[in-house]
Structure 1
Amino acid sequence: MESKLGFYNTHDVVLKEFRICDSTLRDGEQTAGVSFSIEDRKAIATLLDKIGTHQIQLGFPGINRTTFNETKAICDLGLKAQIELMTRGTHPDWKDDVKAAVDCGADVVHTQIPMSTYMKRMYSLLSKQEILQRITDFAMFAKEYGAKIRNITLLDVPRVDINFLKEAAALIAQLGVERLRLADTVGTSTPEGFAYIVSELKDVIALNHAETEIALHCHNDFGFALANAFAGVKAGASMVDVSVNGLGERSGNPCYAEVVVAAEKLYGIKTGIDMASLTELSKLVARLSGIPIPTNKPLVGGLAFGATYDGHVSALLDDPFSYKGILPEEVGNEEKWLITKCANKTIISLKCQVFGLPFDEESILPRLLTAIQAKCDSMTPPSIISEEEFVKIYKDTIDAK
């Protein structure tokens, strides 16, 4: 059964296919309190690869020997996904970082360049000319040392003068760098603003007759990460960074499941990713990270497909898409009809039928509703009555003599 979506989703929208880069094991591990063991990392990377993730971004193998060994262990798994490793572009030991990434077996060697005045003290204080020189030095050294694909990320681009961004992008294109990544590092961009930046730099690359692709790294500080990602793709980007359950520093990155399902279902873009495994992936990361999935998290939350209001349940019985645009099994989730203070005739009669309990709208329903509402009022939220508790309430209320 196909999803039932809005008629106008693709009106005046032309989106090309784009690839997914998962950063759960890098930015996701920078979530406050998250620390993955090597076995955790292997489990997450293996499942990411199994479901078809195009690229997996790991951390900084040049920081210390332990990180190098853990990173190399993931590279040695022989995954189909490309492995991207990070380096610190303005750190005094940046060349050692590049060597470590290549020696680990990286498919993509990534460096990050702080562009805004707000981030100028990240590792080293560099002038604009020194930043441009470092871009050149990285591009040349990484190629000489054997990097297969070079990625240069410009940090905090929404807070940088567009002319400086264009100068950096032109240089990156002229150097033949394979990928330019644009980071909305603290989530300060609107979708319109981010699309403008991507479009302007896409034109710069074209003017230099280069094949440098544009990737995106968005943060959700203002809740715009998902919207900014798709605005950037519309403007010409071909890769989007995501993180499972939206993990990442502060408010996190675009959520893996939401980006994939929006691409597939709302924009009709084939990602090649197994959507039916998305809930499994989210549960794995939630367990290993210690960060629970909010119950109302879109698509993968435990109550993302929960129905409580009687009118909705009645409508769903008539048409499963009346209050859904996608079936829960398409993302490996399940529908739940819940007994809450909103419960009424339809859901209560259904629960009675499930447990073989007599039901009568005139004599039994009013008494059950009174008991259920009283129970919900007395509960500590969330006020959801389990099926076992429902049976007990029924017996205590209706069977009482």
Structure 2
Amino acid sequence: MKISILDTTLRDGEQTSGVSFSDSEKLTIAKLLLEELKVDRIEVASARVSEGEFQGAYKILQWAKSNDCLDRVEILGFVDGKASIDWIMDAGGTVINLLCKGSLKHCRQQLKKSPKTHLSDIEKVIEYAKSCGITVNIYLEDWSNGMRDSREYVDQMVAALHKIGVNRIMLPDTLGVLNYEESFSFCQQMLQKFPDCEFDFHAHNDYDLATANVYAAIKAGITGIHTTVNGLGERAGNVPLSSVIGVVKDHFHFDMNIDEKKLYTVSKMIESFSGVRIPANKPLIGEFVFTQTSGIHADGDNKDNLYHNDLKPERFGRKRTYALGKMSGKANIKKNLDALGMELDPESMKKVTEKIIELGDKKETVTKEDLPYIVADILKSEEIKQNIKIKNYSLSVAEGLKSVATLSIEIKGQIYEETASGDGQYDAFMNALLKIYKKLNKSYPALIDYAVSIPPGGKTDAFVETIITWDHGYQFKTRGLDSDQTVAAIKATIKMLNIIENKK
């Protein structure tokens, strides 16, 4: 069996609160959906909404016409005589998805019409559409509640519409109220009663059941599914295209035209255009979904990929990663070192593992890009006997005032404290330290160079490596590593003090 996709990101997805695509963004998204992802059809606008909506639809339809895919671009229209049809024709469209009432309650209370009158009005629109060469699909709005409360009305509508000769009948769970048992039963009933009809299923996610309901609809025999990229849509959104791909490909093993390798790229582009962030744990497209955090999982992957499933990241243009942090084991670290082309002996690996666990308590994740800095800090720093230790320090900074540092330091078992101000927190720390060293008549090197670097692409919480060059009759360097720049510099300074103390 083959499942076809109508993606409605540009129509239903744009009904997400705060989302409005520009004309150029709409055209770009249409091209991405049809050319890159290769969805079967797209719904791009609602007729008669605004001039901006018209211009966006017009640009897409002109492009579609020149690229021989005009029949794959659809527009939502209304039972409003000739108005929606004329709007669609002026925009250059050839397919209308006509919004009709799928429940008796909507028909009587919203339209204030009898089913017979509503059906008569629909027939007039369809007749006019056909005379204009427009293909008609039907949305049965609130169909899910219609199946619950007014099944006879639904049957009457579908029978009449099928007799008229509409192309597709779309079955929307408009308010996202169905569960998977109802979705299966209602779709199965439609298919059994109207075996010659072509049905689409349109799921909303108000109860977080949209994907389960799509699964049930496909199991019942529905072959057309409506989606949005990233699950955009009104209220809780529509079923995400990414979730449907996983269900269709891996649970049913049915065919689709979708190029799943392009999924992540398109999802990130639409995230940028919409301003709606993809949740980090969103299946297939979230930041964390192909990241193993637990060390035991990485160990299992080293032993015949024990923690892999069929959702291989390479299918979606992504890579599996292994998080570094307090949950890391040697297996996680080895995976990341392998990716960097680095190899450590067992003792060095033990030290690096301990350091990553320690640092992992200070920040959410340690990135692969942080790893060379950590290795360098462990392996390139001398093993220094700690004759001098910082017991405590306090740093403060305030607008318009000098920074202040209070330092408590232990030198060969004796505690010394001082407070000093300076031009910045590190300068204040150094001034407090110098006060202590002057009282003790201890020599102190000159700071020659101070270099700070973070991993490429590092964020605000990235590890900072500070390398300070000192002159004490000879030049030498010390390095410090921390997520805080000042703390990294202080660590480098304490290493310097102990090097000098040990040489004495």
* Structure-2 separation of matches of 1:310 and 1:237: 42
1:198 aligns with 2:187: yes
Q: Which residue of 2 aligns with 1:387?
A: 368
SS of 1:58's equivalent?
A: strand
User: Given that residues 87 and 94 in structure 1 are in contact (C-alpha distance below 8 angstroms), is that contact kept between their aligned partners in structure 2?
Assistant: no
Kindly report which structure 2 residues correspond to 1:147-186, keeping only aligned pairs within 5 A, or say none: 147=134, 149-160=135-146, 161-186=150-175
Give the equivalent residue in structure 2 for 1:230: 215
2:215 and 2:247 in contact (8 A); partners too: no
Q: How far apart in 1 are the matches of 2:28 and 2:306?
A: 35
Q: Greater CA deviation, 279-288 or 131-140?
A: 131-140
Name which one, 1 or 2, has greater alpha-carbon Rg: 2
Q: Distance in 2 between matches of 1:110 and 1:136?
A: 14
Give the drift of 1:146: 2.4
Map 1:222-371 onto structure 2 (within 5 A).
222-320=207-305, 322-352=307-337, 354=340, 356=342, 358-361=344-347, 365=350, 367-371=351-355
**In the alignment, does 2:197 pair up with 1:212?**
yes
Q: Is 1:61–1:85's contact at 8 Å kept on the other side of the alignment?
A: yes
- Aligned with 1:270: secondary structure? coil
Greater CA drift, 326-335 or 79-88: 79-88
Matched residue of 1:378: which SS?
Answer: coil
Q: Is 1:59 matched up with 2:45?
A: yes
Cα 1:125–1:199 shift into 2, 3 Å: same
In the alignment, which of 75, 78, 87 is matched to residue 100 of structure 1?
Answer: 87
TM-score in terms of structure 2 length: 0.69
**Stretches of structure 2 lacking an aligned partner (at least 5 in a row):** 385-504
What's the CA shift for 1:352?
A: 4.7
Return the offset for 1:299.
Answer: 1.3
Decide whether the 8 Å contact of 1:225 with 1:253 is kept in 2.
Answer: yes
Q: 2:73 aligns with which of 80, 83, 87?
A: 83
Q: Deviations over 1:196-247 (max 9, x none)?
A: 22222223324xxxx4311111101111111212322232322110111111
What secondary structure sits across from 1:252 in the alignment?
Answer: coil
3-state SS of 1:150 partner: strand
Distance in 2, matches of 1:146 and 1:376, equals 64
1:127 Cα shift? Answer: 3.4
The alpha-carbon distance between structure 1 residues 175 and 393, as it changes in their structure 2 partners (threshold 3 A), is same
Which residue identity is paired with 2:205?
A: N
Greater percentage in strand:
2
Preserved CA contact (<8 Å) 1:188 1:221: yes
Give the number of aligned pairs: 373
SS of residue paired to 2:73: strand
Q: 1:193 to 1:55 in 2, by over 3 A?
A: same
Check if 1:140 corresponds to 2:127: yes
Q: 1:180 & 1:276 partners in 2: Cα distance? A: 31
Decide which moves more: 103-112 or 38-47: 103-112
Deviates more, 1:53-62 or 1:109-118: 109-118
Partner residue, 1:3:
none
Deviates more, 1:340-349 or 1:329-338: 340-349
* Identical columns (%): 27
Residues 364 and 110 (structure 1), Cα distance of their counterparts in 2 relative to 1, 3 Å cut: closer
Would the aligned equivalents of 1:352 and 1:359 in 2 still touch at CA under 8 Å?
no
Equivalent AA in structure 2 for residue 86 of structure 1: L
Residues 117 and 283 of structure 1, relative CA distance in 2, 3 Å threshold? same
Residue 12 (structure 1) aligns with: none
Structure-2 separation of matches of 1:63 and 1:293: 28
Rate the CA distance shift 1:373–1:244 in 2: closer, same or farther, 3 A.
same
Larger RCO, structure (CA 8 Å, separation 6 or more):
1
d(CA) in 2 for partners of 1:357, 1:329: 25
Give the RMSD, CA atoms, in angstroms.
2.4
Structure 1 residue matching 2:5: 3-state secondary structure? strand
DSSP 3-state at the match of 1:77? helix
Q: In structure 2, what is the Cα distance between the partners aligned to 1:278 and 1:151?
A: 27
Instruction: Give the CA deviation at 1:183.
Output: 0.5
SS in 2 for 1:182: strand
Q: Give the equivalent residue in structure 2 for 1:109.
A: 96
Cα distance change on mapping 1:19 and 1:310 into 2, 3 Å: same
Residue 101 to residue 123, structure 1, CA distance change in 2 (3 Å):
farther
Range with bigger deviation, 258-267 or 386-395: 386-395
Residue by residue, what CA displacement relative to the aligned partner does 1:268-299 show, whole Å, maximum 9, x if unpaired? 21112211111111111111111122222111
Aligned partners of 1:41, 1:357: CA distance in 2, in Å? 48
- After superposition, the C-alpha distances for 1:325-364 in whole angstroms (9 at most, x for unaligned) are 2321111111111102210121224445636464435x75
In structure 2, the CA distance between the partners of 1:182 and 1:47, relative to structure 1 (3 Å rule), is same
Please give the secondary structure, in 1, of the residue aligned with 2:100: strand
**Residue 172 of structure 1: how far off its partner (Å):** 0.9
1:186 CA displacement: 1.3
- Separation in structure 2 between the aligned mates of residue 252 and residue 359 of structure 1, nearest angstrom: 51
- Secondary structure class of the residue paired with 1:59: strand
Amino acid at match of 1:230: Y
Gaps of 5+ in 1: 1-15
Moved more, 123-132 or 313-322: 123-132
Q: Distance in 2 between matches of 1:127 and 1:177?
A: 21
How far did residue 324 of structure 1 move? 2.5
TM-score (normalizing by structure 1): 0.85
